[in-house]
Amino acid sequence: MKNQNVNRFLIIIGTVIVQMGLGTIYTWSLFNQPLVDKFGWDLSATAITFSITSFALAFATLFSGKLQDKWGLRRLVAAAGILLGAGLILSSQVSSLWTLYIVAGVIVGFADGTAYITSLSNLIKWFPEKKGLISGISVGAFGTGSLIFKYVNASFISSFGVSTAFLLWGLIVLVMVVGGSFLLKEAKVSGESTAQAASIQKDYTVKEMLKTKQAYMLFIIFFTACMSGLYLVGIVKDIGVSLAGLDVATAANAVALVAIFNTTGRIILGALSDKVGRMQVVCGTLLATAIAVAVLSFVPLNFPIFFACVAAIAFCFGGNITVFPAIVADFFGLKNQGKNYGVIYQGFGIGALAGSIVAAILGGFQATFTVIAVLCIISLIIAMTIKPPHEADQVKESTGKMKRMQPGTRVG
């Protein structure tokens, strides 16, 4: 993998451009009301589009590794960019909800997820010695794209209308992702690099990973982190109005706050995980999230308490999204990281829906926050005790040797 002729800085630039283009899909909430105003659709039915996008994004990560093996990274990311741009451009021509679900939901989500997981995993492979920092740069670029395009797409909608905004958005994203793909170069992992050999014993395939208990433990932790963050993103303004008693304009500022702290958490906690350990960072984020949602649920809220809790949850969510790709590489190896992380990443898609389902069943924000707090504590206990498969095997082996060496033990 160490090719002296490769400029890894250009690969970082290419990945950042690609990820920024992909992150623009998180501006979807800007389009809901304009679509309702133009076509007379129900708001909740229109908003379902982004849930479909999120599921398609997560689902795509299950297949992107195999597609990369067949097509190669650069060709796959470029194709995903073309498909993503085409889906948004076609969204400018829709006149029915079902058409919107297909082009803006299924097509856009699948294309976005394919390019997201492959470009992220590839960059981590180029920098095995700084997996947390590099993951933070890549995932941080995704968040930055969302933050910047909140203003770009809002301007397009107000100036040209929602349909033309889709067209312009699609063209820009197509150029960004396809253009960035030309700077990418696929990393080849031999399994013999010094950094890798020091941290793991083998590269696990997906089948081998799924035979370990650690895969399911990591899934539970990731699901919990995604559920808490994604639920907050969807209803943060409503919480400010109903629980903290803020006016609509003030509560709306929380949307920008979430984006800022989400992006900041991705960069800071990704780099920090290289220094203090990734599971230590995850433990800290789970504890902080549990405290924040407990405060939102049980403490009388005012302006500073509300915004402090929202900032903490968003910061921790961004950090977990960043650290987990590196954790999967630490536990199961770099060679199949994209495929393995694609499986764990299904916690994102399920987590995106779980918060709303729990809220519908239990009937409100506070009860849902209580459930999230309990899940965070359970996941915290798991995070404090989990060890990579090779370390767990070494502990078992050494324990077995000690038992065999005890006096009175019969051999043979």
pLDDT tens across 338-378, in order?
Answer: 899 999 999 988 888 888 788 888 887 888 889 999 999 99
Considering the domain architecture, whether residues 182 and 209 belong to the same structural domain is answered as no
Least confident of 160-174, 207-221, 339-353, 368-382: 339-353
Which domain, by its residues, includes 140?
1-188
* CATH code of the domain containing 285: 1.20.1250.20
In which band, very low, low, confident or very high, does the pLDDT at 122 lie, cut at 50, 70 and 90? Answer: very high
Task: State the pLDDT at residue 208.
Answer: 95
In which band, very low, low, confident or very high, does the pLDDT at 263 lie, cut at 50, 70 and 90? Answer: confident
Separation between Cα atoms, residue 199 and residue 176, nearest integer Å: 35
Considering the domain architecture, whether residues 13 and 133 belong to the same structural domain is answered as yes
Separation between Cα atoms, residue 354 and residue 340, nearest integer Å: 22
User: Measured over all CA atoms, what is the biggest interatomic distance in the chain, rounded to whole angstroms?
Assistant: 85
In which band, very low, low, confident or very high, does the pLDDT at 400 lie, cut at 50, 70 and 90? Answer: low
Task: Identify the DSSP state of 130.
Answer: G
Considering the domain architecture, whether residues 217 and 293 belong to the same structural domain is answered as yes
Considering the domain architecture, whether residues 199 and 154 belong to the same structural domain is answered as no
In which band, very low, low, confident or very high, does the pLDDT at 192 lie, cut at 50, 70 and 90? Answer: very low
Least confident of 173-182, 196-205, 215-224, 395-404: 395-404
Among residues 273, 256, 235, which one has the least CA distance to residue 359?
A: 235
**Which range in 143-147, 194-198, 199-203, 273-277 is most confidently predicted, on average pLDDT?**
273-277
In which band, very low, low, confident or very high, does the pLDDT at 399 lie, cut at 50, 70 and 90? Answer: low
Spell out the residues 6+ positions from residue 394 whose beta carbon is closer than 8 angstroms to its own: none
Q: Please say if the pLDDT value at position 408 is more than 60.
A: no
Considering the domain architecture, whether residues 363 and 264 belong to the same structural domain is answered as yes
CA distances from 157 to 50, 87, 154, 160, 163 (A): 18, 18, 5, 6, 8
Separation between Cα atoms, residue 405 and residue 412, nearest integer Å: 13
Considering the domain architecture, whether residues 25 and 163 belong to the same structural domain is answered as yes
Long-range Cβ pairs for the range 145-149 (8 Å, 24+)? 145/19, 145/20, 145/21, 145/22, 145/23, 145/24, 145/26, 146/23, 146/24, 146/25, 146/26, 146/27, 146/259, 146/263, 147/259, 147/260, 147/263, 148/20, 149/23, 149/24, 149/27
Length of the chain: 412
- As for how many domains the chain has, the answer is 2
Separation between Cα atoms, residue 85 and residue 152, nearest integer Å: 16
pLDDT tens by residue, 248-257: 777 777 777 8
pLDDT tens by residue, 15-50: 999 999 999 998 888 898 899 999 999 988 898 898
Least confident of 81-85, 205-209, 248-252, 381-385: 248-252
Average pLDDT over residues 313-321: 93
Considering the domain architecture, whether residues 77 and 157 belong to the same structural domain is answered as yes
Considering the domain architecture, whether residues 379 and 282 belong to the same structural domain is answered as yes
Q: Please say if the pLDDT value at position 397 is more than 70.
A: no
Please say which residue of 142, 171, 188 terminates a domain: 188
Among residues 268, 263, 267, 265, which one has the least CA distance to residue 316?
A: 265
Separation between Cα atoms, residue 319 and residue 262, nearest integer Å: 8
The structure tokens listed for 284 are: 């800290």
pTM: 0.81
Among residues 160, 151, 83, 150, which one has the least CA distance to residue 116?
A: 83
Q: Please say if the pLDDT value at position 194 is more than 60.
A: no
- Side-chain half-sphere of 381: how many Cα atoms within 13 Å? 5
Q: Please say if the pLDDT value at position 196 is more than 70.
A: no
Q: Is 327 helix (H, G, I), strand (E, B) or coil?
A: helix
Considering the domain architecture, whether residues 250 and 153 belong to the same structural domain is answered as no
Separation between Cα atoms, residue 106 and residue 214, nearest integer Å: 31
**Average per-residue pLDDT in the chain?**
88
